Structure 1
Amino acid sequence: MPIHRIALGAPGEAGNPDALRAALAEFFSMLIFVFAGQGSGMAISKVTENGPATPSGLIAAALAHALALFVAVSVGANISGGHVNPAVTFGAFIGGHITLLRAILYWIAQLIASVVACLLLKFATGGMETAAFTLSAGMTTWNALVFEIVMTFGLVYTVYATAVDPKKGNLGTIAPIAIGFIVGANILAGGAFDGASMNPAVCFGPAVVSWRWNHHWVYWLGPFIGAAIAAIVYDHIYIGDYAHQHLPTDY
């Protein structure tokens, strides 16, 4: 099982210039993604005068997130790997492709970037609310948890197949497109039910700025479970020990 390859990382990694640059790249990528994604939702709300969600609004949100994630992953890919998601980082950690110390740096950068993006949006829109993720009528927390697990599994499985797998070859060039597409498709599938987060940082920023934490745990537990399952399944079945690229042990 790939879980035996989990690495904590050397103490010096936290201050390693390459690790810090990678974390900064995650910050900027997440800022781009959340600003565009959350901003699209706020724009739709303004156009419809805070009316109920419509099919066209759901399509617009899916398209905005897909395009923004495509860009955010692309600009960070050569520096940090373009995770743009704490769950993706967790999946990479579970598969032994990133150390815990570097993962923590990524998580801090991703969460701060999400908060900053939401604060910028609130200021730029003259105080409009950055809507926190919530469950739709009739949805239980367990329904939403399943949604988040399955959708994040699809996302992280796609990340592994197109970006992490050392046998990916030329397929790696379309990784940002594939990752953006699966997120957009999942928003169409689950957006009307629980908001289709798949990304704890995307939920964290709006929750902090609006200070609304209803069912917030679902948007952490679901993505982390889905990411771990995808990492274990793909790494164990399709990568294995022979092709696995070992992590550095000193800094």
Structure 2
Amino acid sequence: MSRECLNRCLKVFKMKASTLDKISCFLAELMGTAILVFLGCMGCVKTDLFPNNHLQIILNFGFAVLIAIQCFGCVSGAHLNPSVTVAAYIYDLVSLPMAFVYFVGQMLGGFIGYGLLMALLPPSTLNVPNGLCVTLPHSEVNNLQAFGIEFVATGILVIVCCGVWDPRNAKHHDSVAIRFGLAIACLACAAGPFTGASMNPARSFAPALWNGNFLKHWIYWLAPLSGAGITAIAYKTVFRREVVEAQVVSDEKLRQLEDVQLS
């Protein structure tokens, strides 16, 4: 019934199935990034009754990523991050036009997510010196060091992505949302005190735009995008291997045999 309704809608609006797929991916990236920014930045709010700490913030961002991937991973892959989309394009997972669709959805989603946060929270909770959730390097970290930290952190994130996308790992995606959530939490735990551990231009751009604070903002574009691109090229060249279908069938039969023996 749902398939028939979909076909009717496509005929009524004279829309191709591929166009509908693009719209679905756009909306998934928009809503997923909005969830990431909304929940992640809300976890950075401090109040007299509920003071937060570094561990709370990193776990909150990790859980926000987990929720977004669980919701929209089956729709668009839940990149939620222009850096991840750059890596996916290099890895031949998305076309250039589709990468642009993802990018627009992510940037708009981040803007909407932070705007919703500002609309729902009391103004007193948003009045922090540099703006709530605005990413800035630590005062003792120079620009080159901040660039390097964001570059390396994003590179590690992209290695995780490439490992998930690797054809040899195609049958092991059952807990991807948890893996990425924990990976983000780990990277944020390490890099957060020094740069804010953005690794994501969409996540940094929205708070900067709403607060009008673009101090050293270039770091949070150039470092993640270049780190993602170089890492994806390196992984694709050095580590990626295509899986032969016969090998996949053989491995599946072996797993079935092991299951029978264990049971």
Cα distance in structure 2, aligned partners of 1:177 and 1:237 = 27
Tell me the residue number matched to 2:185. 184
Cα distance in structure 2, aligned partners of 1:190 and 1:47 = 27
Cα distance in structure 2, aligned partners of 1:47 and 1:180 = 28
Cα distance in structure 2, aligned partners of 1:75 and 1:88 = 17
Pairing 1:46–2:42 present: no
Tell me the residue number matched to 2:72. 76
Tell me the residue number matched to 1:248. none
Question: In the alignment, residue 82 of structure 1 is paired with which amino acid?
Answer: A
Cα distance in structure 2, aligned partners of 1:238 and 1:89 = 19
Tell me the residue number matched to 2:8. none
Tell me the residue number matched to 2:93. 97
1:131 to partner: Cα distance: 3.4
Cα gap change, 1:139 to 1:20, in 2 (>3 Å): same
Q: Percent identity, please.
A: 27
Tell me the residue number matched to 1:235. 236
C-alpha RMSD over aligned residues: 2.1
What TM-score, normalized by structure 1, do the two folds share? 0.83
Question: In the alignment, residue 19 of structure 2 is paired with which amino acid?
Answer: N
Structure 1 residue runs of 4+, over 3 Å off?
none
Cα distance in structure 2, aligned partners of 1:47 and 1:196 = 26
1:82 to partner: Cα distance: 1.1
Tell me the residue number matched to 2:118. 122
Between Structure 1 and Structure 2, how many residues are aligned?
223
Cα distance in structure 1, aligned partners of 2:243 and 2:238 = 11
Tell me the residue number matched to 1:247. none
Greater relative contact order (Cα < 8 A, sep 6+): 1
Structure with the greater alpha carbon radius of gyration? 2
Would you say the 8 A contact 1:115–1:205 is kept in 2?
A: yes
Q: How does 1:25-174 map to 2 (within 5 A)?
A: 25-42=28-45, 45-47=46-48, 57-127=53-123, 128-129=126-127, 130-162=132-164, 164-174=165-175
Tell me the residue number matched to 1:19. 22
Question: In the alignment, residue 133 of structure 2 is paired with which amino acid?
Answer: A
What TM-score, normalized by structure 2, do the two folds share? 0.79
Structure 1 unpaired stretches of 5+: 1-11, 245-251
SS at match of 1:77: helix
Structure 2 unpaired stretches of 5+: 1-14, 245-263
How far does the alpha carbon of each residue in 1:77-134 deviate from its partner, in whole angstroms, 9 at most, with x for none?
1110111111000111122211111111111111111111111111111232433111
